[in-house]
Amino acid sequence: MIDDQVILRVAARVLTPVIWLFALYVQAHGDYGPGGGFQAGVLFAAGFILYALVNGLGAAEAIVPARVSETMMPLGVLIYAGVGFAAMLAGGNFLDYNVLADDPKKGQHLGIIVIELGVGITVAGVMIQLFSAFARRPA
Amino acid sequence: MLVLMGFLAAIALAILRLRDGITAVMLSGIYSLLSAGVFVLMDAVDVAFTEAAVGAGISTVLLLATLHRTNRLTRPSRHRAAVPLIVVLMTGAALVYGTWDMPRYGDAGSPPNQHVGLRYLEESPKTTGIPNVVTAVLASYRGYDTLGEATVVLTAAVGVLALLGARRRKDDPHDR
């Protein structure tokens, strides 16, 4: 897209992996600091969008194909609801994380990390798909 | 805090007067970033994080992408602004009147800080073992709500994608 802007292209190429790494940090660290699945998903999509803005949507979709981000949208919600049903199978109520491990605290930790991952996957997929839908349409 | 609020008001007024869509979108992005600053000052870092990432980041990009598909400049309006102005002023006055009944910011005796909030703060580290109370409330105590929110995000995206016709079919002659 922006062929003659060398600084922009290089900066985007350097920044995108850093943004994704930060997104993973925010995703994994939501229990301890600010952040969580929603913010991590948005950050992940932001990295994708930056790359797509500078290198073109095609180049970005070579990294995250449209089929993958499309699958991510319902997959995250399925993971979230799946945790709920897993808790029911383990003998608790829907989304009762206490029964997911031997120790209620461990179960809470496990449940929260997995559902945050579900939220992150859905949000990232949704944001990438929305941006691609706008970027793909001919002007 | 007052300085940030003043900037917010100034930006809102500037957006009102603009005819150029791109400038308005950039200013609304700055507006979101300043709001994130206000949230940080109120110790709501999780909210600030979301506002900065979604309001200042993603929505700005999506609005720019939308603008790219439409006219950049808006036509000058020929409507009279008197009636809308009166409606806005009355709504604003009603909202300000509503704030008089609100407890002072940070009042320890106010209902939000007394009942369930107090319990979350005291119990959540013991029952969930998670230091970030916001995450504990969102993901555990209010797990149903958050599942609903994730579903709403998905549903909204499906709606938008359906409207934009983003699904590419191989046999579609209009494709590309």
Partner residue facing B62 (CB), from A76, A109, A131: A131
In-domain check, residue B36:
yes
R_g (Cα) of chain A, nearest Å: 18
Burial B123-139 (b: 16+ CB within 10 A, else e): ebeebbbbebbbbbbbb
B132, two tokens: 């970030």
DSSP B70: S
Residues 6+ away with beta carbon under 8 Å from B57: A42, A46, B29
Q: Which of B40, B63, B142, B153 to mutate to test the interface with A (most CBs of A within 10 A)?
A: B153
Tell me, what's the pLDDT at B136? 84
Question: Final residue of a domain: which of B73, B95, B130?
Answer: B73
Q: What percent of chain B has pLDDT over 90?
A: 30
The pLDDT value recorded for residue B110 is: 80
pLDDT confidence of residue B36: 94
DSSP assignments along B9-72, one per residue = HHHHHHHHH--BHHHHHHHHHHHHHHHHHHHHHTT-HHHHHHIIIIIIIIHHHHHHHHHHHS-S
Quick one: tokens of A96? 């009762």
Partner-chain contact A111 B139, CB within 8 Å: yes
| Helix B59-69 × helix B21-41 angle, to 10° | 170
Residue B94 inside a domain? The answer is no
Q: Residues near A106 by Cβ (< 8 Å), separated by ≥ 6? A: A100, B129
- Asked if residue A1 is part of any domain, the answer here is no
Q: What is the pLDDT of residue B167?
A: 55
**Over chain A, what is the mean pLDDT?**
89
User: Residues of A14-41 as b/e, b for ≥16 C-beta within 10 angstroms?
Assistant: eebeebbebbeebbbebbeebbbbbbbb
Residue A89 belongs to some domain of the structure: yes
CB-neighbour burial class of residue A3 (10 A; exposed 0-12, middle 13-18, buried 19+): exposed
**Does B122 reside within a domain?**
yes
| Cα–Cα distance, A21 to A40 (Å, whole number) | 10
Domain end, chosen from B25, B58, B73, is at B73
What ipTM does the predicted assembly reach? 0.87
Confirm whether B14 is domain-assigned.
Answer: yes
Dist CA B159 CA B58 (whole Å): 18
User: Averaged over B154-160, what is the pLDDT?
Assistant: 93
Residue B119 sits in the same domain as residue B56: no
Nearest-CA distance B52 → chain A (Å): 9
Residue A31 structural domain = 6-136
Q: Which domain holds residue B7?
A: 1-73
Query: Does one domain contain both B3 and B69?
Result: yes
Work out the pLDDT band at B95, boundaries 50, 70, 90: very high
List, in sequence order, every residue forming a beta bridge with B73; answer none if it has no partner: B20
Residue B92, domain member (yes or no): no
A112-116, B51-55, B110-114, B170-174: least confidently modelled range: B170-174
In a domain, B151, yes or no: yes
- Sequence-distant (6+) residues with CB within 8 A of A50 are A12, A15, A16, A19
Do B68 and B115 belong to one domain? no
- Give the residue-averaged pLDDT of B75-97: 86
Banded pLDDT at B175 (limits 50, 70, 90): very low
pLDDT over threshold 50, residue B176: no
What is the average per-residue pLDDT within A16-38? 89
Tell me which chain A residues have a C-beta less than 8 angstroms from the C-beta of B157.
Answer: 73, 125-126, 129-130
The answer to whether B134 and A34 have CB atoms below 8 angstroms apart is yes
pLDDT, averaged across chain B: 84
Q: Which of residues 43-72 of B touch A (CB under 8 A)?
A: 45-46, 48-50, 53-54, 57-58, 61-62, 65-66, 68-69
pLDDT grade for B118, boundaries at 50, 70 and 90: confident
**pLDDT the model gives residue A3:** 63
Number of domains chain A is built from: 1
Count of domains forming chain B: 2
The residue that leads in pLDDT, B137 or A82, is A82
pLDDT the model gives residue A44: 94
